[in-house]
Structure 1
Amino acid sequence: MSILVRPPKRKLDEVDALNDGPRKQNSNSSDLGLSQWASRPPSEQTETSGDSQALVVSLRELHSNRGSPVLFENGPLQSPRNFHPKASVVLIGIRGTGKSSLAVILSASSGRRLIDADRYFHQITGYSRAAFKKENDHAEYRKQEARVFESMLADNQDGCVIACGAGSMERSGQQLLREYARTHPVIHVTRDPASIQSYLKAWDTQKVRHFLDLSGPIYRGCSNLEFFNLSETIRGQRVFRDGHDSPSDPKVDQRAHTPTPFLTLKRVQRDFLRFIAFVTGDGAELSRQHASFPLSLLPVESRSYTSAVSVPFSAIGDKDLDIEELEFGADAFELAIDVTGSSNLVEVDSNLADNISQAVATIRRNIIVPLIYHVQSYMAPVGSLSPNHTPQRCPDDEYLNLVRHGLRLAPDFLTIDLSRDDTLLTQIMSIKGLIRIIGHFEAFHPLAGGWDGDEFMKVYERAKRIGCDMVRLCQPAESMEDNLAVQRFRHRIQSLPVSGLPLIAYNTGPLGRVSRCFNPILTPVTHSSLVYTSPAQLRPYITSRDAQKALYNSFVLDPMQFFVFGANVTYSMSPAMHNTAFELCGMPHLYSIYQSPTLRGLNDLVENQHFGGSSVSLPYKTEVIPLLHSMSPHAQAIGAVNTLIPIRNLDDSDPRASQESSVHLEKSRAGPIKGLHGDNTDWIGICNCIRRGLSPANAVRPSSTGLIIGSGGMARAAVYSMIHLGVQNIFVYNRTIANAEKVAHHYNRQDLHPKAERMSTGRPRVGTLASLQDPWPSAFKQPTIIVSCIPAHSIGGQPAPNFHMPSHWLESPTGGVIVDLAYKPLNTPLMKQMRALSHRGWVALDGLDVLPEQGFAQFELFTGRRAPRRLMRTIVLQEYKDDEGQDDQNAIRDRLQNLDGQPT
């Protein structure tokens, strides 16, 4: 059985009615635009959808005896999905799915040339599709369409993003797309019916759903990848591009209200660009995206005692399910497809693929950890509660089609069932692309000889032979001795003369919980909200918090002490933020304030064998550098350190290896300290806030310009964050011009871009501005990214700066983002000024946005674990105190009620 089977026959007049229904002009369409859309006259602000009748023809052919296009013997499902990084990307899908907007987003962000299939037809023939059909019969139109479409694909093999309308979906177009998909990403863009209906402004949602059922097999048959365009939601309500403007009242925090239209596509932009970077193997772009979260730069199997939270597909639709909370403490998120063997699978067949795609998109929207796609091969029969009952295995074709659909969605990892035969498994391996494969084998009854026998070793060796990247083995524990046996098996694997596959091995059932706690790689865990056993029953599962607490209670890991170190740090909110996060994650650590009038106070911290790391505050961010054994590239480039990590293992023969092992991998283990490693996360906090507030219309391009106000250490971090984002034109303004010139010289003498990137984008340049009265430099575009790094309160008896941006520096036609690092008071004069300009596209963020963002990265560097992001944001807001105005406290209450803890 295929989950993508040919749909049941429909009356063609129903299909015709759907395709030829009214097309109301919608100037706020999510399928167009951004800055290009905004600049068009109203008469052109509609999607060039092409000839919708072409899809009707395709549907007629689908209902013929030619068979379902999804199951072509050598179609896209059998293509290897290994693409050249510059290979052109094709987007297909019905009207209203947002493929045109996605094409614009990708073009603006990557520099790919944007090609619209319908416009291309007009350019080649001199006619629109409708006009050409009016002048010619249908046979001639189909011939011309085939010639134009073939020419478009053949002439644009590299460096393009091609958006195809329904007019490209003639039978000949389908064949051309299938051929193109052998070497290029051809992405089927889909969306939920309610969002499509809102765009079309016609038909009801049920008709749209009916149309998706009919058209889905055609589009899937022509593509090798699938992207579900998840609509933005605020307070549980969908938000489309025709959302209302933010309130212009400068006292109102705009983030607590429906976002401006400029940010409506923000999260879609992030999701889609990450998807494209992964499927095309763009390592440089992936590294840039992951740099904000240090653990993302390390393979998950290289770290100790990692976990993967397993969530059933059947639970994702629960409206009360908080996916971000499920991720807390986990190092990966496993989506378990638990639909195999269902007695009513035929009835849900037409919607199942869309539902799985939407579930994957929903998960990705809320997590930062890798995604594992796992098809449950075995399902217990309905009504069977006996733990000794062997589950039923689903048929090979049903299993294979669910796995194939998972490959289309490009998860980080995908499991294959090692109980299946080699023919099926090698077929999956041949089309996996860049997805990493976990060979999974679960014994529902103990194997002969158990872990000490030969059966598990045979399974392990078979996984190696097939080409798996990891192997996961488990069986039920019948006694506590079985937990020692699995440790012995792990030792056997580690003792092999040739380095083997990373091994996930554990026992199942209540007696096997101990083995899960001590399994070092991606141990399966659950979340308390997903545990359905009654209190009287023994729980067979553990949570990530359970696993962490067990490791500390058994002395495998040690409680550590962390500090914020500086000359005046009594006001710091970091202790409350980190200590609450430690408690939630099951870590017995303590984060304290250590105030010292001199740098010598650092000696007391280093002599503490339980020292786990420290935040560094003024004035020691540069003074501490001579004391360090090593520094991260970020800290070296900025010339300042705000994070110290102890090094306990030094190997002079291989200092780089020891640095990686000790700094990133050896966490929560006490002992003598032999050196200190310095890092900087200030730039991460600024960078993430810029990303959050920068609209897709202002995506960074070679012509983009950034502006820094100030010249201190945070200004240097702000310049680095802009360089990291790809901004090539950066200006620094400071009241003392000489200090601004020092910052500019510091970066202009460095070469921070790899050679390949310099050749394609140029080298970043940092200039200075002498006076607020000077006009903006005419050779450069107005700034769309601004970071203010000056205080807003009085210091040392000096009056508050009361800084305002010159209006002639704020003439960007699409607005931009401003990050004000000050938060005392929260509603600074600059924030009031910029929030009053929100209707022009300006988005303002403050120091209370920056602090937790840099704290997430510090938490990862300190603990080797993912930070509970929403909790840490909540604590910062709750701990914030300021006596300068009631407006601040009102804004805090508003932000707490509408807290957004989702990843940047």
Structure 2
Amino acid sequence: MSILVRPPKRKLHEVDEGPRKYSVGPSWSPGTHSNSAASSRRPSEPLDSQSDSHPNATSLRELHSNRASPVLFDKGPLQTPRTFNTTASVVLIGIRGTGKSSLAVILAATSGRRLIDADRYFHQITGCSRAAFKKEKDHGEYRLQEARVFESMLADNQEGCVIACGAGSMERSGQRLLREYAQTHPVIHVTRDPESIQSYLKAWDTQKVRHFLELSGPIYRGCSNLEFFNLSESASGEHMAKDGQNMSPGPKMDQRTHTPFLTLKRVQRDFLRFIAFVTGDLTELNRQHSSFPLSLLPVQSRPFTNAVSVPFSALRDKDLDIEELEFGIDAFEVVIDVTSPSGQLGTDSNLADSISRTLSTIRRNIIVPIMYHVESYTSPKGSLSPAPTARSTDEAYLSLVRHGLRVAPTFLTVDLSRDDSLLAEIVNARGRTNIVAHFEAYRSPPGGWDGDEYVEIYERAKRLGCDMLRLCQPAETMEDNLAVERFRHRMQSLPNAIPVIAYNTGPLGRMSRCFNPILTPVTHPSLIQQTPNHVRASITAHDAQKALYSSFALDPMQFFVFGANVTYSMSPAMHNTSFKLCGMPHKYSIFQSPTIRGLNELVENQFFGGSSVSLPYKTEVIPLLHSMSPHARAIGAVNTLIPIRNDDDSDPRLSQESSIYLKKSRAGPIKGLHGDNTDWIGICNCIRRGLSPANAVRPTTTGLVIGSGGMARAAVYSMIHLGVQHIFVYNRTHANAEKLAHHYNRQDLYSHEQARANGRSRVSTLSSIDETWPAYYKQPTIIVSGIPAHSIGGQPAPNFHVPTQWLESPTGGVVVDLAYKPLNTPLMKQIRALSHRGWVALDGLDVLPEQGFAQFELFTGRRAPRRVMRTIVLQEYVDEEGHDDPRAIRDRLQNLDGQPS
């Protein structure tokens, strides 16, 4: 069934009948403006919608016309609470070439929303295209009809839709309708860089496109409540550079997964996460975050988290590696420190575009939350004094904060030196963004941290409805660092307390930053000014981690890979390198044992921090566990052990979530073991990484698993998690395939509520590689092989190929081969030869670091350095049988990035 809604044709007099259900302002009917509508178009009014006969007609007219850009009839920024029902229809607006239609198709295909295109809707209602209608009628009658159809489209499709609007929607009445609709629905302004728009339209030059964006930006922003910068795929692996316009070369893309079929892959990921956040779809957010366990736990509830503070001016003017800036941190704070020529903060269309693009680039390259902070004060350039010299006006400050809310960061700060009325406006319009009340004292108040001044500030922040409070002041003595600790404890002991970030600034205040438990501001070595060491007041994430272990607040732990034959494991090198670079004195070793009893020696070690579990103990260890994650329980296998030490570690959430709730890096007697599984995460991430937008998971999607062992079990579970409802298993011993199918069919597993409504996943078997694909199911687009590709015990390698009759998907798909000895298996050779048909091949060296990221987070409670771990796996790989081309590994190292899947 098509995802494109086709409304029934109605007579013209029926289109404008009935009130608008979404309206929150004065009622409007087409007749109200009939006189002005009948008059000829003013030069300043919106340009016509596109002609059906020429796909670029609208944009060509927009760009070639000597008339002015569309004007904003209702001036002033849109005020809206930005809190919507998860089923509320989503509206996309923007000039042609920004990718609205592609984004609408992506959202409809993956979410089950109905796709409504404004031009097709016009054709369905009137029985003819816009071009034909305008040819037969005068312009005034066309404008009147356009208003009627647009009002009908919004009123009749308030839930479960994604609506892509054309330029015709920006007429006078269309702007008013969009503003009213935005009170209860996400209306998203989609923008893009001028180079990509010009490349798509093939019209005029980039400078003229940039000029048109500058003129039209305020109009589209005035009619929308959110903004999404559609970052071009070609820029996804690049660094920020001057003005946010040009990008300097960054890490090259992996050509194995950067094919024409995956052109929109990262755009798809960015947009779906954006939509899930702004609509409050927690089920979808949790499903996306499950690849990184720490994301399931709010950053403000984890101990000793930090946020790297990066000035917007540095992101704009310097060649910064975004992935490197994220290294070892828990949140990414963008500090808007720009000034206008007059010295006041403010926004214009170019600056707004630059901020949106910067935030989009950051989002693409990181997995941690973004915090948006607007500086109220400026200091002389090069000054070492923290004292401010100029304060921005309320209007200039508010314009930048409002724009921050439009791009939907996880956190946004508000300056408590501003009036309550201004702050209340921001808090009421926050939507899903967490508001952090911010107050910086440039000299200590009379009572210091022990006085009443900061208590009053805390109570004010709480009264305003802020979610957190951030306070800081210069440290004058070392005693100030103890005083701020007392203040935090005093505030957290209050009933219904909000989290408090409190620390001292200046060289003497660095100790307080290390021990501040929530979102401590840190810097990165590339951002530290070249000033004498004794006056540097900033600390890095590495500095903060080392200080916690050096002061005995945290303990150096010992981790292991436990199995019967693990001498070949690359995990020690991967984890030990990451520990060192993150400033953690942990050690990861091999522990080989002929029996499961060897585990006793690990548990008796008071510094035991956790262990990877290898064959043959992934199932044998289960009876020894105190608790298991739901993932491990569903799969029936464990590859990760975490010690339980304290009574409060027996949190009831453990049985429902994972070991993220267990305390990390604290030694002591062990009272029990918790089991988890990250194998499925590695497989799931690789499927996501290689699955093209054309093959987005739908109710009809089919998956195929080769094998029936432990990794095959994890592969089936990963497909269930992705929402695949039809899964087939092939194994040479058919009885084992039947056992695997029965293992899952007897469980009541759903990936999300929509899957519960449509029906749960069903696992079936294939008895022979000679049989044709089952007639009532689509050809598989997701294939995972869990069988070895090397000789074992003198037995020859299986030399497995997928039967060609099972590879007839017209859009190709993704194949993940879990084997990597050799790396270039017969299956990988087969699939790479089919790359021209849309097939993407990923191997075991892709899977290993992906599951390692999640394991690192479960072991340490810290974010994994993704690029580093991928690099170590490739560097440590040894081709023992000489089957692989050494150049392949070198190419992968050169094209490496740390992109989230």
**TM-score (structure 1 length as normaliser):** 0.90
**TM-aligned CA distance change 1:362 to 1:104, over 3 Å:** same
Aligned pairs, number: 849
Tell me what 1:270 maps to: 269
Secondary structure in 2 aligned to 1:742? helix
2:203 is the counterpart of 1:191:
no
Alignment of 1:495-510 (within 5 A): 495-496=493-494, 498-510=495-507
**TM-aligned CA distance change 1:836 to 1:545, over 3 Å:** same
Give, in whole Å, the separation in 1 of the partners of 2:393 and 2:229: 27
2:587 is the counterpart of 1:590:
yes
Tell me what 2:877 maps to: 880
2:893 is the counterpart of 1:902:
no
Secondary structure in 1 aligned to 2:521? strand
2:294 is the counterpart of 1:295:
yes
Deviation at 1:48, TM superposition (A): 8.8
Tell me what 1:129 maps to: 130
Deviation at 1:884, TM superposition (A): 2.7
Report the AA paired with residue 491 of structure 1.
H
Secondary structure in 2 aligned to 1:462? helix
Tell me what 2:421 maps to: 423
Give, in whole Å, the separation in 1 of the partners of 2:852 and 2:813: 25
Tell me what 2:222 maps to: 221
2:570 is the counterpart of 1:545:
no
| Alpha-carbon contact 2:340-2:346 (below 8 Å) kept | no
Tell me what 1:94 maps to: 95
Tell me what 1:148 maps to: 149
| Alpha-carbon contact 1:21-1:202 (below 8 Å) kept | no
Tell me what 1:441 maps to: 439
Which of 512, 517, 537 does residue 514 from structure 2 map onto? Answer: 517
Deviation at 1:20, TM superposition (A): 9.6
Give, in whole Å, the separation in 1 of the partners of 2:594 and 2:830: 38
Cα offsets for 1:79-112 (capped at 9, x unmatched): 1111111000000010110010000000000000
Deviation at 1:499, TM superposition (A): 3.1
Tell me what 2:826 maps to: 829
2:414 is the counterpart of 1:396:
no
Report the AA paired with residue 126 of structure 2.
T
Cα offsets for 1:105-124 (capped at 9, x unmatched): 00000000000000110111
**TM-aligned CA distance change 1:297 to 1:819, over 3 Å:** same
Deviation at 1:233, TM superposition (A): 2.5
Give, in whole Å, the separation in 1 of the partners of 2:669 and 2:580: 26
Deviation at 1:254, TM superposition (A): 9.8
Cα offsets for 1:440-465 (capped at 9, x unmatched): 10011212211111111110110010
Tell me what 1:325 maps to: 324
| Alpha-carbon contact 1:711-1:739 (below 8 Å) kept | yes
Secondary structure in 1 aligned to 2:617? coil
Report the AA paired with residue 456 of structure 2.
K
Alignment of 1:78-117 (within 5 A): 78-117=79-118
Report the AA paired with residue 207 of structure 1.
K
What is the alpha-carbon root mean square deviation over aligned residues?
2.7
Report the AA paired with residue 778 of structure 2.
K
| Alpha-carbon contact 2:49-2:130 (below 8 Å) kept | no
Give, in whole Å, the separation in 2 of the partners of 1:354 and 1:464: 33
Secondary structure in 2 aligned to 1:361? helix
Tell me what 2:736 maps to: 739
Alignment of 1:220-369 (within 5 A): 220-233=221-234, 255-256=254-255, 259-318=258-317, 320-340=319-339, 343=342, 349-369=348-368
Deviation at 1:533, TM superposition (A): 2.9
Deviation at 1:16, TM superposition (A): 10
Give, in whole Å, the separation in 2 of the partners of 1:483 and 1:119: 65
**TM-aligned CA distance change 1:368 to 1:651, over 3 Å:** closer
Secondary structure in 2 aligned to 1:81? coil
Give, in whole Å, the separation in 2 of the partners of 1:877 and 1:639: 30
| Alpha-carbon contact 2:574-2:873 (below 8 Å) kept | yes
Give, in whole Å, the separation in 2 of the partners of 1:220 and 1:773: 58
Which of 404, 407, 410 does residue 406 from structure 1 map onto? Answer: 404
Q: Structure 2: any 5+ residue segments left out of the alignment?
A: 1-40, 240-251
**TM-aligned CA distance change 1:119 to 1:706, over 3 Å:** same
2:528 is the counterpart of 1:531:
yes
2:76 is the counterpart of 1:71:
yes
Cα offsets for 1:310-352 (capped at 9, x unmatched): 1111111346311111111101111111114663669983300
| Alpha-carbon contact 1:54-1:170 (below 8 Å) kept | no
| Alpha-carbon contact 1:58-1:170 (below 8 Å) kept | no
Tell me what 1:450 maps to: 448
Give, in whole Å, the separation in 2 of the partners of 1:754 and 1:449: 54
| Alpha-carbon contact 2:257-2:840 (below 8 Å) kept | no
Secondary structure in 2 aligned to 1:445? coil
| Alpha-carbon contact 2:254-2:896 (below 8 Å) kept | no
**TM-score (structure 2 length as normaliser):** 0.90
| Alpha-carbon contact 1:234-1:258 (below 8 Å) kept | no
Deviation at 1:162, TM superposition (A): 0.4
Tell me what 2:719 maps to: 722
Cα offsets for 1:518-573 (capped at 9, x unmatched): 00000000000111132455211000000000000000000000000000000000
Tell me what 2:889 maps to: 892
Instruction: Determine which structure has greater relative contact order: mean sequence separation of CA pairs < 8 Å that are 6+ residues apart, divided by chain length.
Output: 1
Secondary structure in 2 aligned to 1:256? coil
**TM-aligned CA distance change 1:15 to 1:615, over 3 Å:** farther
Tell me what 1:486 maps to: 484
Deviation at 1:434, TM superposition (A): 1.2
Secondary structure in 2 aligned to 1:152? helix
Report the AA paired with residue 454 of structure 1.
D
**TM-aligned CA distance change 1:888 to 1:674, over 3 Å:** farther
Among all aligned residue pairs of Structure 1 and Structure 2, give the percentage whose two residues are the same amino acid: 75
Q: Structure 1: any 5+ residue segments left out of the alignment?
A: 1-12, 24-42, 239-252
| Alpha-carbon contact 1:664-1:864 (below 8 Å) kept | no
Report the AA paired with residue 616 of structure 2.
P
**TM-aligned CA distance change 1:451 to 1:435, over 3 Å:** same
Which of 854, 863, 871 does residue 866 from structure 1 map onto? Answer: 863
2:570 is the counterpart of 1:569:
no
2:647 is the counterpart of 1:650:
yes
Tell me what 1:33 maps to: none
**TM-aligned CA distance change 1:694 to 1:172, over 3 Å:** same
| Alpha-carbon contact 2:345-2:396 (below 8 Å) kept | no
Tell me what 2:459 maps to: 461
Tell me what 2:812 maps to: 815
2:202 is the counterpart of 1:205:
no
Secondary structure in 2 aligned to 1:751? coil
